[in-house]
Amino acid sequence: MRHRPALAWQEIGAFMTTLALRNGLAPQALRFAILTVARTGEVRGMRWQEVNVEAKVWSVPGDRMKAGRLHRVPLSAAALAVLEEARPLMRQYGDLVFPSGQLRKPLSDMALSEVVRRMNEGGEKGAPPRWRDAEGRAVVPHGFRSTFRDWAGETRPEGREVVEAALAHTIKDKAEAAYARSDLLEKRRPLMDAWAEQCSRIPAEIVGQIGGMRESAQL
């Protein structure tokens, strides 16, 4: 099975800069998903009652997790900032964080995919998409988890166990899993803070293009 198209981690700052220029809940949800390396379904179903701002933790219930168990996500300052952007729509703690236009229903998975598709529009005919993987395929939301994994594997000291915990991957070895009681939350905090910093790095060649990017992002 082929992996889903993923952006090279060296380009994540440029992508996030462009994404931040787009208005609406779907771009916000995608930014939050990238910053937390959560699956899009976990983000789309997220409710305010799951967020502890003081502890800087998002607790995803097991019924929305692939592994079927609670997953705690340490929230970086950048992730908390996205939540602050979305907060004006909140009426009560049981509300969805990123609702659709009907407020009581979550965004569709297609809504997040459409954000990336639109970001790839406007190029020259026949040219590869701007945001693409090494094979030239247009990236998709789920692929940013692989972007994070590549970045962490190449640049961070935390090690595979912590990175896999951040991605909420289960331990396949049953004997090893029996002894892995901790979710390594505190070890994951500096990892997610560093990822947020990487996502905020704007390449020099992008700085001069920001004005034009603002205009095209509104189209």
DSSP percent split of the chain into helix, strand, coil, nearest 5: 50, 5, 40
Note whether 47 and 94 are within 8 A (CB): yes
- DSSP bridge pairs for 47: 96
179 classed as catalytic: yes
Q: Catalytic residue among 66, 69, 201, 214, which?
A: 66
Q: Catalytic residue among 64, 145, 149, 188, which?
A: 145
Residues with Cβ within 8 Å of 160's Cβ and at least 6 positions away in sequence, in order, are 153
Note whether 217 and 24 are within 8 A (CB): no
66 classed as catalytic: yes
174 classed as catalytic: no
Q: How far is CA 110 from CA 53, 102, 212, in A?
A: 29, 16, 27
3 classed as catalytic: no
Q: Catalytic residue among 39, 44, 64, 72, which?
A: 39
Residues with Cβ within 8 Å of 94's Cβ and at least 6 positions away in sequence, in order, are 47, 48, 49
125 classed as catalytic: no
Q: Catalytic residue among 56, 169, 187, 189, which?
A: 169
Q: How far is CA 142 from CA 34, 116, 158, 205, in A?
A: 9, 11, 23, 27
Q: Catalytic residue among 125, 172, 179, 181, which?
A: 179
105 classed as catalytic: no
Q: Catalytic residue among 47, 64, 142, 188, which?
A: 142
Q: Please give the positions annotated as active site.
A: 39, 66, 142, 145, 169, 179
